[in-house]
Amino acid sequence: MIVYNNIEEFGGCKNAVVTTGTFDGVHIGHQKILSKLSAIAQEINGETVLLTFHPHPRMVLQPDDNDLQLIDTIEERIESLSLQGVDHLIIHPFSKKFSRLTSVEFIRDILVNQLGTKKLVIGYNHHFGRNREGSFEHLLEYGPLYGFDVEEISAQDIKEVNVSSTKIRNAILEGRMGMARQYLGHHFSFGGTVTKGKQLGRKIGFPTANISIENHKILPTVGVYAVNIIHKDNSYKGMLNIGNRPTINDSDALTAEVNIFDFDKEIYGDKIELRIKKRLRNEQKFETVELLKSQLNEDKLLALNC
């Protein structure tokens, strides 16, 4: 997969089969679109092109809105899309100027003149252009005029529930990791750099690695989770606590810290990935440290069996 930092870097390709969107999470609905994209490219001896944007449009159009939480960082999105067999990934800087393009300008200047679209594949209820004025019907009207075909992928259902990035975010925020996995097609994960904390866990026999989290990256609700930890291509089991450690900590600051089983290495400054398998329980305050240790031993047994 070739990655371009803006549309201008893309020099064109043979019979471009194009899709566009934010693709946050690259969930099973996105995967259906990308699978169709690849199938069409094979049929017409073409190449697949995905146009996405960074930063997320809401960060630009609503800069004071601090509630945006993304399933994927841009690095995670690139990795997920590479696994889907995309030939050309264009990550165009989203700006207020770009947002003012009318739907006709977007079709003519971007899809046709710059991308050379021969076939456009879009998801259900896709909108584009200034004030989201462009629609599937709009594309059907202008496609023949500009020499490209358009195909819409219908809504993807799981047990009659439409898949969307918003619904996946809600599942993650509520700690429903099984549902998130069902929608994503894989375990929800997040990565970060290991930072030095107060080493309180070490004092009770459960040393933890504190993880710094990128801004706007979504995290599950406060609680204890069974996880797999990826460190330098090696996988380990462990348990993750998201919260403020009320039994041994006097701070209200939210932390993400993981106890890695059968692991005894100094990894400060290293990057690790946490794949969240299951929510084990709520975070709670214990009357004594001994009661906390007893619960952590039970948590470990549950996590080992996940």
| Token pair in block for residue 13 | 């390709």
Q: Are residues 26 and 80 in the same domain?
A: yes
Sign of CA dihedral 290, 295, 298, 300: negative
pLDDT digits (tens, 9 = 90+) for 13-63: 999 999 999 999 999 989 999 999 999 999 999 999 999 999 988 888 888
More confident call, 124 vs 302: 302
Q: Are residues 158 and 202 in the same domain?
A: no
DSSP-derived secondary structure for 81-150: HHHTT-SEEEEEEP-HHHHT--HHHIIIIIIIIIT-EEEEEE-TT--BSGGG-B-HHHHHHHHHHHT-EE
- Residue 30, in any domain of the structure: yes
Q: Are residues 16 and 105 in the same domain?
A: yes
DSSP code of residue 217: B
Q: Are residues 30 and 134 in the same domain?
A: yes
pLDDT digits (tens, 9 = 90+) for 89-104: 999 999 999 989 999 9
- Residue 177, in any domain of the structure: no
Q: Are residues 200 and 81 in the same domain?
A: no
Write the CA distances from 94 to 7, 21, 67, integer angstroms: 11, 12, 19
pLDDT digits (tens, 9 = 90+) for 161-199: 578 888 999 999 999 999 999 999 999 999 999 987 666
Q: What is the CATH number of the domain that holds 38?
A: 3.40.50.620
Q: Are residues 192 and 274 in the same domain?
A: yes
Highest mean pLDDT out of 84-88, 196-200, 254-258: 84-88
Q: Are residues 192 and 139 in the same domain?
A: no
Mean predicted lDDT score pLDDT of the chain: 88
DSSP code of residue 8: G
pLDDT digits (tens, 9 = 90+) for 212-245: 888 789 999 999 999 999 999 999 999 999 987 6
